[in-house]
Structure 1
Amino acid sequence: MRITHVSDTYLPLLGGIEAQVSRLAAQQVAAGHDVEVITTTPAAPGAHGVSTAVEDGVVVHRVAARVPGGWPVHPRSTAHVTARLRAAIARGERPDVVHLHMGVLAPTVQAALRPVTRLGLPAVLTVHSVWGGASRLFAAADAVARWSRWPVRWSAVSELTAAPLRRLVRTDVAILPNGLDLDAWRVPRTERADRPEGSAVHVVAAARFAPRKRMLPLLAAVASAVRALPDGALFVTLAGDGPERAAARRFVAEHGLGDVVSLPGRLTATELKRLYARADVFAAPSSDEAFGIAALEAQAAGLTVIAHSRSGVAERVVDGATGLLVPDDAALTAALVRLATEPGLLDGLLAAATTPPSGMDWPEVLKTTHAAYTEAATLPSR
């Protein structure tokens, strides 16, 4: 199968969309498909122009412009996408499907969708982000362009992201979850008595230190929990980097949390696995988490999860059975205290966490994605 992915953001940027699209493309190549990615993300900061290279077996076509702030946008990206697809058709290499990946700000994908369908190419569009207030803008655009009526197989990475799309298109929206090599993330558990952090309940998080990820509110909840707990009951590691990391370091110093909180910076996958081997709980405090690939990695490693009850992570958690769901920061603090003071609760959650969520391993994700491609090919052109 010839598959063309279109995504404004791609590696070397790091985020949910970038990770999923690159991994999905690589998995499809490994399965024997002919895969191309078209993106407006430059290969390196400051790079610009049109380039094509093979990266991890995937043909990556980049249309990069010099834009203030380094945003991955290009004023003529739609023309480039259309021209490349037309050229492929002329060579006899017509894509069997064009898979477009959309966040909130995705000008290339949004503008290229209609030209793709007008070329008669099967199209799948996947929403990867929580739209929030942007839903009203998309509804207004639909009132003008009627994009919800175009022949597209609509999809999203979670029910959270599917809900606003479903209200607009008024038809079925497929769930195409992010994929993960679950076996690669299974790690042998180090019991608390043998850990360098001591016998404390070890809570971890791995996220960008940015407002949407809510790492600073998580730190505030940790500080409140520590005040309610005996010394040595809780240890917290917050891995990641970003614009709020300096503020996090100041918070730890100002609140005397140096012996309780570790901020090691961004960790590699191997370093995260080593961290998860000696941890108990993964915290995902953001309600704007569309899917939560980092939480899935932790779940695959055998950790239980505290997640915001309105997040995409919550869809993989049974409250009180496989993790804890919290509606706000006060409940997050209470959950941390419970996990550190109710050993029966934590032991039960960890026992249930030995079975990772279903449907997220790559063979299953590839099968689900291929089904969406097949359905896209049956849609009438219009």
Structure 2
Amino acid sequence: MRIVHVVTLLGDDGAFGGPASVATAQSEECAARGHEVTLVSLWRGGNRAPARIGGVPLRTRPARSLLPGRFTGLMHPLLARDLWRTLGRADVAHLHTGRDLVSLTALAVAVLRRTGFLVQTHGMVEPRRRIVVRAFDRLFVPLLRRARGLLVLTERERLALARVVGPDGPPLLSLPNGVRPRPRSGPREPDGRHPEILFLARLHPRKRPEAFVEMAALVHRRMPQARFRLYGADEGMLPAVRRLVAERGLRDVVTYGGALSHEDALRALSRAAVYVLPSVDEPFPMTVVEALALGTPVVCTDSCGMAPELARRRAAVVTDGSPRALADAVHEVLADEDGRRSLVAEGRRAVEEAYSIHAVVDRLESFYRHARCVDGRCGTSQSEESGCLSKQR
């Protein structure tokens, strides 16, 4: 099949987070299976956009801010032309969509080109009451309703999207995120002299980097040799983080390294003795899956969408998110060698059985085969095709 993935933004700083990682992982796996795949996006970063990502051709334009908002107003006038040409040749399109100009343009072009398409919103589309959002939705929601299916990660996202698109919207299809399993090796021993505890996320209030610093202060009292690193684009919390580091006397043990490219982020995860994600209401954090695949123990909060499954499998330490609980969990992972080894083994097993990109794309291929059948182009009527997808919810 000729498959086009569209995501709002790629770059060498990983600023767009999970949606960018998911789009590239899915594209690469589809290409590895022999499909003709193209990835279309804006690009922002210190380096020029590559021609290919993991063997997948990349069609991109420099990101320009045409409207206010960190991602909402990003666009480039020539990207619309790229989308018109690329989607016109596609059998099916996979649109990684939020409330932004790139997503709106991709949806409109797919409808005009009569290209069957699926939409994956990554938890970015929920009911909103602000006037500007309601005005945007007058164009956005009718286009969403033309999708052959909406891909959802969690039950919360299912309910939110159902409220946005209404009872006559497209089928809501469950699809987890996935990563490529790493080659098996023995559990990596942390550096006993200076074990590194990692925060890897945007410095945004929902990610709670200040809770990570408070946790670091508590762990440091019990394990003075531990070191703590924060990586991620600043979205307003860096001054508070630096102030808290100074107040707690942690300048020598807590450092901030800025935003990382995806490859550098994987290296940071691989080096870490523990990965801590203190954020709340996180639908499906790709950094957690990537840490598990790399054999790095994970500490997260019980509001993470993956928490019930990880807790059931004993593949991560799930806490209530308080600094004290996070600190106790980190101390336990570092102090209990047998427990750490078990976490690593169960984390890798969870990736292989539930969060592997192979299993995800197995399911995607089935969705793609049905989504390409629009207006009888492959012998299936719209009503029949919609019914086929509905059976796979």
Query: 1:174 aligns to what?
Result: 173
- Structure 1 residues 37, 230: CA separation in 2 closer, same or farther (over 3 Å shift)? closer
Query: 2:58 aligns to what?
Result: 60
Query: 1:311 aligns to what?
Result: 304
Query: 2:192 aligns to what?
Result: 195
Shift of 1:367: 1.0
Which runs of 5 or more residues in structure 2 are unaligned?
375-380, 384-393
- Letter of the 2:286 partner, please give it: I
- Structure 1 residues 294, 343: CA separation in 2 closer, same or farther (over 3 Å shift)? closer
Secondary structure, in 3 states, of the residue corresponding to 2:226? strand
Match 2:27 to one of 4, 22, 25: 25
Number of residue pairs the alignment of both structures matches? 358
Shift of 1:97: 0.4
- Structure 1 residues 55, 326: CA separation in 2 closer, same or farther (over 3 Å shift)? closer
Shift of 1:153: 1.4
1:120 and 1:5 map into 2 onto residues whose CA distance is 16
Q: Is the 8 A contact 1:237 1:261 kept in 2?
A: yes
Q: Is the 8 A contact 2:117 2:148 kept in 1?
A: yes
Shift of 1:256: 1.7
2:365 and 2:106 map into 1 onto residues whose CA distance is 22
Answer yes or no: is 1:372 the counterpart of 2:367.
yes
Superposed, 1:135-150 pairs within 5 Å as: 137=133, 141=137, 146-147=142-143, 149-150=145-146
- Structure 1 residues 41, 301: CA separation in 2 closer, same or farther (over 3 Å shift)? closer
- Structure 1 residues 348, 101: CA separation in 2 closer, same or farther (over 3 Å shift)? same
2:259 and 2:137 map into 1 onto residues whose CA distance is 38
Query: 2:284 aligns to what?
Result: 291
1:52 and 1:222 map into 2 onto residues whose CA distance is 38
Shift of 1:115: 3.7
Query: 2:378 aligns to what?
Result: none
- Structure 1 residues 289, 145: CA separation in 2 closer, same or farther (over 3 Å shift)? closer
1:29 and 1:263 map into 2 onto residues whose CA distance is 36
Q: Is the 8 A contact 1:142 1:148 kept in 2?
A: no
The normalised TM-score by structure 2 is 0.74
- Letter of the 2:81 partner, please give it: H
Q: Is the 8 A contact 2:333 2:339 kept in 1?
A: no
- Letter of the 2:157 partner, please give it: T
Secondary structure, in 3 states, of the residue corresponding to 2:199? strand
The normalised TM-score by structure 1 is 0.76
Shift of 1:101: 0.6
1:181 and 1:261 map into 2 onto residues whose CA distance is 31
- Letter of the 2:3 partner, please give it: I
Secondary structure, in 3 states, of the residue corresponding to 1:183? coil
1:249 and 1:344 map into 2 onto residues whose CA distance is 28
Shift of 1:33: 1.6
| CA RMSD after TM alignment | 3.9
Which runs of 5 or more residues in structure 1 are unaligned?
89-93
Q: Is the 8 A contact 2:317 2:329 kept in 1?
A: no
Secondary structure, in 3 states, of the residue corresponding to 1:100? strand
Cα deviations by residue, 1:304-332 (Å, 9 ceiling, x for unpaired): 43222222342542169333334443xx4
Query: 2:387 aligns to what?
Result: none
2:332 and 2:53 map into 1 onto residues whose CA distance is 49
Query: 1:206 aligns to what?
Result: 200
Query: 2:386 aligns to what?
Result: none
